[in-house]
Amino acid sequence: MSIYDTLNEPQREAVFYTDGPLLILAGAGSGKTRVLTHRIAYLIEERGVNPWNILAITFTNKAADEMRQRVDRLVSFGAESIWVSTFHSACVRILRRFIDRLGYENRFTIYDTDDQKTLIREVCRKLDVDTKVFRERSLLAAISSAKNEMIMPDEFELNAAGDFSKQKIAKVYREYETQLKANNALDFDDLLVKTVQLLETQPDVLENYQERFRYIMVDEYQDTNTVQFRLVRLLAGKYRNLCVVGDDDQSIYKFRGANIRNILDFEHEFPDARVIKLEQNYRSTGNILNAANGVISNNRGRKEKTLWTDNGEGEKVQLRQFDTAYDEADFIADDIRREVENGAAYNDHAVLYRTNAQSRMFEEKFIAMNIPYKIVGGINFYARREIKDILAYLKTVDNGRDDLAVRRIINVPKRGIGLTTINRIQESADERGIGFYEALLAPELIPGVGRSSAKLDSFAALIEYFKGRAQEESISDLLREIIEKTGYVENLEADDKEDAEARVQNIDELVNKAAAYEEDCQDRGEQARLSGFLEEIALVADIDSLDEEQDYVVLMTLHSAKGLEFPHVYLAGMEDGLFPSYMTITSDNEEDLEEERRLCYVGITRAEQKLTLTCARRRMVRGETQYNKISRFIKEIPRELIDTGHKKIKEGQDIPVQNTYAHAKQAFRTQAFAGIGNRTAAGTGSQPFSVLQKGSQLTAQKGGKLGYEVGDRVRHVKFGEGTVLDIKEGGRDHEVTVDFDGVGVRKMFAMFARLVKV
């Protein structure tokens, strides 16, 4: 039996179509990785294509590793010659060989997000830019957005004519680029931008890689941005054997620069392209898929497709609405504990949410109930202080032009080199047109350093010693020597004994990482290089830290969850104003709401067997209690697919509130909210909880002096129109509760609200 007999008909069609442009529209869980790997095997074993003529690109190291392993199992000869990598890794390999054509040294440093923030702060200080007006984060976002569109400083400055703010950003952008080049460093966007510039300006380099990569496959094509599209188009320009795989319904990274038009307009760019749809889902049950189909069908900007499965209908989608976010977290934690007691594993469960801030309540509940968990997308291991310090030593050894790295460690551990001395070194370097480290090599030429000259000389001698050792010993041995010679661990223990143990363990883990990298290089028959080790670390993503073998509940944002799957998924905070977000609801751009809906679709399709949707009627957001309507996305799910835990709910009727607190807490809540309305214990089938029922004590107050009263329609400058539910007379002002049409219930003081009767 052939390996291709295990594929369904559309999958086989995609595997066997090898010449010319091909768009594979692969729905969630439809086996796209299986198709790509079998396609590679078919090209090599049936079509006689050389393995080194194949390039397969995806977005995460995790996905690339999985594809590599599958290819190795399928292809008997030459699999190691296939380029299977992320966009950034592929670009780094190209730039390591040819970036000198663009005026950089080949041993460049890759700056992570923290490095970028440090650099932008220095740029703002140099240009006297007020970071209270021009936020560092906003400046970096503007620069990244420009690079994603291949807009360089000259063009950016030209486009900014007549706009003071944009002109200021243009100056920051230009200086930022100047400093990057002076440090012989690239940020993540540069890895793509410089590769495109290289291919567009160096015909022989372009010819080399077009000949090398005669067959190109791109995974997750819906997530590509403009510069990635240009890169792919350049590489595939000669032979046009370009196969892209993606799902426009899972395009959720617009904020990172992803351009959904790349996949929607593929046939326009390649009129002779073949389009094949993969709609059979192998992951989820029928009810989960029908819920996903029901939601995503409301989007207009999409290519029509409908997921289906042979897995059976499965359980209905569980929907639970609670009084508060505390109740919501309590229910989810208790539900996970109950399932584990019945034989499930902790890692069968994932809690997904729209914003990082939602994780706090779940963490508190999980800790209280001794439920092991891991937050994906928290502090990256390589962003921890002690790891950044040690890596800065390695970066300085590898690339002395990296001023950020040198400045980070010049007084770590403390050597008595103060900020004044560091500033004088920088000023001297700037005046002489040389780098910070180069100035350090001749401290006697730096004015005003005085007695610090000997300390600077000692530090430079230490770095030069490490540079010499790097040529003679392994990376792991070099790491150990740096830690020992600098006395870094002893300094940690002296500064903070309580925190030192955990930090030392992190340093030990970094040494383990270096040893593992060396072993991997040995297995591949490659030389373990310091620059290669730093490169691998720089390209690590948060999702790559997820260990699926460990038994813990996963907490993560919906954006982080893409590409993953779990037996039981909880989508928490399904409320208008939270998901979809308030900004989306109030936006005039329909595309923003469609992106949020795609995010919901992604969340739903992460579930294999069971999906639970939860929401709360009131939630504390930025210190303000908000009363939220149930998410419009829930209302787009066919009612027959939903189980609320109560008797059948009629169309238009509220979902009963679930109560999970202990009796004492329930009694306290009932007393605190006396008169608001009837509560329902889960499963009783009583009347649902109705917020602020007419005639209750909270709606008894009138507000004649305000120009409006309970029941009137009013307009708010930010929230739009709504109905006044309650007016309370306070000491100095009236507290007004309004049910706004777009964002739900809000409580506010009349003086600040400035409501106008309509």
Tens of pLDDT, residues 17-65 = 999 999 999 999 999 999 999 999 999 989 999 999 999 998 888 888 8
Q: Please compute Rg for the chain using Cα positions.
A: 29
**Cβ pair 119, 137 in contact under 8 A:** no
Asked about 86 being catalytic, the answer comes back as no
Q: The whole model's pTM is what? A: 0.73
- Mean pLDDT, 10 residues at a time, the chain of 758 residues: 89 95 95 92 91 90 83 78 90 95 92 90 92 89 93 94 91 95 94 96 96 95 94 95 95 89 94 96 96 96 93 95 92 96 95 88 87 77 84 90 90 89 89 88 86 89 92 91 90 73 81 86 85 83 60 92 93 94 86 95 97 92 77 95 71 51 36 33 29 30 65 83 83 78 79 81
Asked about 32 being catalytic, the answer comes back as yes
Question: Cα separation of 579 and 597, whole Å?
Answer: 9
Please tell me which residue in 37, 58, 116, 250 is annotated as part of the active site: 250
Q: Identify the helix (H) or strand (E) that includes residue 202.
A: none
**Cβ pair 241, 215 in contact under 8 A:** yes
Q: What pLDDT was estimated at residue 682?
A: 31
**Cβ pair 479, 517 in contact under 8 A:** no
Question: Cα separation of 536 and 517, whole Å?
Answer: 9
Q: What pLDDT was estimated at residue 701?
A: 35
Q: What pLDDT was estimated at residue 720?
A: 82
Q: What pLDDT was estimated at residue 532?
A: 87
For 164, counting Cβ atoms within 10 Å of its Cβ (0-12 exposed, 13-18 middle, 19+ buried), the class is exposed
Question: Cα separation of 736 and 738, whole Å?
Answer: 6
Asked about 323 being catalytic, the answer comes back as no
Three-class HEC string of 254-277: HHHCCCCHHHHCHHHHCCCCEEEE
Residue 166 identity (one-letter amino acid): K
**Cβ pair 87, 231 in contact under 8 A:** yes
For 643, counting Cβ atoms within 10 Å of its Cβ (0-12 exposed, 13-18 middle, 19+ buried), the class is middle
Q: Identify the helix (H) or strand (E) that includes residue 550.
A: none
What single DSSP character describes residue 222?
Answer: G
Whether a cis peptide bond, with omega within 30° of 0, leads into 580 is yes
Please tell me which residue in 62, 302, 503, 606 is annotated as part of the active site: 606
Q: What pLDDT was estimated at residue 508?
A: 85
Can you read off the two tokens belonging to residue 349? 């469960």
Please tell me which residue in 175, 187, 189, 220 is annotated as part of the active site: 220
Distance, CA of 702 to chain centre: 48
**Cβ pair 323, 618 in contact under 8 A:** yes
Question: Cα separation of 581 and 42, whole Å?
Answer: 45
Q: Helix axis angle, 452-470 relative to 385-398, nearest 10°?
A: 80
Asked about 197 being catalytic, the answer comes back as no
Asked about 219 being catalytic, the answer comes back as yes
Q: C-alpha distances in angstroms, 639 versus 604, 609, 642?
A: 16, 19, 5
Please tell me which residue in 32, 230, 610, 632 is annotated as part of the active site: 32
Residue with tokens 């699999």: 79
What single DSSP character describes residue 310?
Answer: S
Closest CA relative to residue 536, chosen from 18, 66, 61: 61
Please tell me which residue in 219, 402, 596, 726 is annotated as part of the active site: 219
Asked about 228 being catalytic, the answer comes back as no
Query: What residues pair up with 218 in beta bridges, in sequence order?
Result: 57, 244
Please tell me which residue in 18, 33, 210, 426 is annotated as part of the active site: 33
Q: What pLDDT was estimated at residue 681?
A: 31
Query: What residues pair up with 737 in beta bridges, in sequence order?
Result: 726, 747
Within 10 angstroms of residue 735's Cβ, the number of other Cβ atoms is 15
Closest CA relative to residue 720, chosen from 624, 563, 577, 595: 577
Question: Cα separation of 425 and 441, whole Å?
Answer: 11
What single DSSP character describes residue 308?
Answer: B
